[in-house]
Amino acid sequence: MASSEERDTKEREHKEEKEVEKGGFIEKVKDFIHDIGEKIEEAIGFGKPTADVTGIHFPSINLKKADIVVDVLIKNPNPVPIPLIDINYLIESDGRKLVSGLIPDSGTIHAHGEETVKIPITLIYDDIKETYSDIKPGSIIPYKIKVDLIIDVPVFGRLTLPLEKTGEIPIPYKPDIDVEKIKFEKFSLEETVAVLHVKLENKNDFDLGLNDLDYEVWLAEVSVGGADLTKSAKLEKNGISYIELPITFRPKDFGSALWDMIRGKGTGYSMKGNINVDTPFGSMKLPISKEGGTTRIKKNKDDGGDDDDDDEE
């Protein structure tokens, strides 16, 4: 007759055998269901869509804001269109949120097709500077864009496709401008042709390729209009550059201030306008202004002036 210990051992071994058989059966069922699922997917042609950030553009950047467009390429391998339910986006810098938002009902991706979805984002600089006082105008800051695409796919259900992209974005700062002197090319009371010798200080951490400048100049509170930039120039980052701007005016319009101008005593001036520049981040239009400045007027020797080059830049 078997002892109680022997009976317990046999019962335990029998139970373990049953559990092994049960576990094996469950695994076989799981494998069978998985195989059937794959065969169904193959038969009806369903698969998970994919997405990738293919580009980031800055259509417009000025002192107030930056317009950003994120290009996302979505591929749909399925035989039916897929609705793009929501797009969640977030831009952060060093872990700090700069802007976030949601775009609902963003369209449909065609069956067996691919489509580039453009996500427009606007970054307001005042909001950033008010929140993070250490972010200074003229600087370049790192950014990370996070995008979640929420789609509804038959068989799979609702899916979220997370995307990330990093880069740099500028916080532009307007250049300082000064008219160091005005040199006459042709002098008469009826019409005087002169050149403004202008100093521009670029206070940004990136170069500015100066392409165009629209401006208006006031001499002794009399507007003398403006003119086009004769040639392009490169404004080095955190550097000072000199450019020459032609103007034409009528000295007899200046009244008594004319005599101070002729005697070389200097004249008050103001200048206001915009510069159009190329940058590593795209083109920008930046304002320039100078109120209440004072500059010298120099005449050519042919007009009775002292046209030396001792004070040339």
* CATH number, position 249: 2.60.40.1820
Same domain, 166 and 197: no
What pLDDT shows up at residue 165? Answer: 95
Q: Look up the pTM and report it.
A: 0.71
Range of the domain at 138: 50-170
Same domain, 181 and 124: no
Same domain, 188 and 298: yes
- Name residue 135's amino acid: I
Could you tell me if residue 43 is inside a domain?
no
Kindly report, residue by residue over 38-89, the tens digit of the pLDDT.
554 554 556 789 999 999 999 999 999 999 999 999 999 988 898 999 999 9
Could you tell me if residue 31 is inside a domain?
no
Exposed, middle or buried, 10 (CB in 10 Å: 0-12/13-18/19+)? exposed
User: What percentage of the chain reaches a pLDDT higher than 70?
Assistant: 75
Final residue of a structural domain among 148, 170, 192: 170
Kindly report, residue by residue over 136-156, the tens digit of the pLDDT.
999 999 999 999 999 988 777
